[in-house]
Amino acid sequence: MSEKGDFFERVYRVARLIPEGRVTSYGAIARCIGDPRSARMVGWALNGCPEDVPAHRVVNRNGTLTGKHHFFGGMARALQEEGIKVEDDQIVNFQSVFWDPPKINLEE
């Protein structure tokens, strides 16, 4: 076990668990999968995320849409479509829409 590709799969899995109208941070996902120091890799992993992964719901710890420049299409608009208020590439009331990812089965 412990393959390199597992890291990506875990990121995708957690990202898919994000409910609508909610967002999470890269560090939260990184910690969820057991690598809180690889937060940067989470963002890099989402760079090649499939379409079924709501990458637009993943932002940095400040609630800023840091990935907007890399996301295909209007990331801020997509968030607002789900009920998330965004202003100047920054999530409004970020703490209220923040979603803490549960610990998934790392061996599954």
Partner DNA sequence: TGAGTGACTGTAA
Partner DNA sequence: CTTACAGCCACTC
Q: Which amino acid is at 70?
A: H
- The nearest distance, CB 75 to DNA, in angstroms, is 7
Contact stretch for DNA (CB under 7 A) within 57-65, 79-87, 100-108: 57-65
CB 56 within 8 A of CB 78: yes
Q: List the x/- string, 60-89, binding to DNA by CB under 7 A.
A: xxxx--xx-xxx------------------
Stretch that binds DNA, among 28-36, 80-88, 100-108 (CB under 7 A): 28-36
Q: How far apart are CA 88 and CA 65, in angstroms?
A: 9
Q: By CB under 7 A, tell whether 47 contacts DNA.
A: yes
Do the strands 90-91 and 86-87 form a parallel or antiparallel pair, or are they unpaired? antiparallel
CB of 52 to DNA, least distance (A): 13
| Least distance in angstroms from the C-beta of 108 to DNA | 20
Q: How far apart are CA 14 and CA 83, in angstroms?
A: 20
Alpha helical stretches, state H, the chain: 4-16, 26-32, 39-46, 75-81, 94-97
What residues make contact with DNA under the rule CB under 7 A? 4, 7, 25-28, 30, 35-44, 46-47, 49, 55-56, 58, 60-63, 66-67, 69-71, 94-95
